[in-house]
């Protein structure tokens, strides 16, 4: 019996998610479902940490017996500055989403980029090599997606942002990679871009707002990273145009699975994690 069935004991291994707020997080449901399926005496808990208290929270993980933690908004960037040992991706993106407690201290990782790589390969069956990508947004999620696409051989990434200056950290993160990065001068300019893959890494669409969209067709793949809503205007337009459309749950699952692997050394059952996430969302979300 896993700890998530019966509650933690003195022998239970603890992990959790550090953020503010974290009451909306799907991570406890997904990870505890994996621990139950694997019959591991582990439990995953929400760890609400208000701004200003992050250093103390991270210092306390080892003392409290945690094996590690996920880190979510608004702490991803600050955590990267506080954790001494960073993976290549965490250092390049200057943000982390996973902490592993080691005998030598805390190690920071970012599983968003490899999670997006797995999602494109396993769920979307999309090979970015030689393709043009339209990416809405330049924040942390967008940078991770851009890194994954650049490593996979994308020919060009067009970044659509409200202000071109906001794209500078993204361009800098890809500086030594063989990909052309072009910044649209405004979101409206995105409507003139011809792209094989369209990715929305902004909150636009969560409440029915519409993005300026380019022409789409059956050969276009559309990914909207929003997953708390059953559909968005971008995904509706994609389906109407015959394009293949995906929500953000697939990326969420794959980055979570990579965190699980870092902590336990074992691959978790994605089916159990997916079912738990969909149930937590009220059954409204799907991978597609």
The phi and psi torsions of 65 (rounded to 5 degrees) equal 85, 20
CA distance linking residue 48 with residue 239, whole number of Å = 38
Return the bridge partners of 43, or none: 14
Choosing from 76, 143, 235, 260, the catalytic residue is 76
- Whether 76 sits among the annotated catalytic residues: the reply is yes
CA distance linking residue 58 with residue 44, whole number of Å = 16
Residue written as token pair 């004991």: 9
Residue 254: in which H helix or E strand, if any? helix 249-264
- DSSP SS3 for 225: coil
| Antiparallel, parallel or unpaired: β 98-102 and 105-109 | antiparallel
Taking the C-alpha atoms of 15, 18, 21 and 25 in order, what is their torsion angle to the nearest 10 degrees?
Answer: -40
Length in residues, the chain: 288
Q: How many CB atoms lie within 10 A of CB 16?
A: 24
Active site residues: 76
């Amino acid at each position: 019996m896993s700890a998530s069935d019966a509650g933690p004991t003195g022998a239970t291994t603890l992990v959790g998610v550090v953020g503010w707020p974290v009451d909306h997080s799907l991570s406890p449901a997904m990870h505890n479902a994996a621990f139950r399926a694997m019959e591991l005496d582990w439990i995953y808990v929400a760890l609400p940490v208000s701004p200003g208290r992050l250093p103390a929270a991270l210092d306390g993980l080892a003392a409290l017996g945690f094996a590690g933690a996920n880190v979510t908004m608004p702490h991803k960037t600050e955590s990267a500055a506080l954790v001494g040992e960073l993976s290549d991706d965490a250092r390049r993106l200057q943000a982390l989403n996973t902490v592993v407690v080691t005998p030598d201290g805390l190690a920071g990782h970012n599983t968003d980029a490899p999670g997006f790589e797995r999602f494109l390969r396993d769920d979307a069956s999309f090979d970015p090599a030689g393709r043009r990508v339209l990416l809405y947004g330049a924040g942390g999620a967008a940078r991770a997606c851009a890194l994954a696409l650049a490593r996979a051989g994308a020919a060009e990434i067009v970044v659509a942002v409200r202000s071109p200056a906001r794209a500078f950290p993204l361009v800098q993160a890809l500086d030594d990679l063989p990909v052309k990065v072009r910044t649209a001068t405004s979101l409206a300019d995105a409507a003139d871009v011809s792209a094989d893959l369209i990715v929305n890494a902004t909150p636009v669409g969560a409440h029915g707002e519409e993005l300026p969209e380019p022409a789409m067709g059956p050969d276009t793949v559309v990914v909207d990273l929003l997953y708390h809503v059953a559909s968005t205007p971008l995904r509706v337009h994609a389906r109407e145009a015959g394009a293949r459309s995906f929500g953000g749950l697939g990326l969420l699952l794959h980055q979570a699975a990579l965190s699980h692997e870092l902590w336990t050394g074992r691959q978790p059952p994605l089916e159990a994690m997916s079912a738990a996430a969909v149930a937590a969302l009220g059954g409204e979300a799907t991978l597609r």
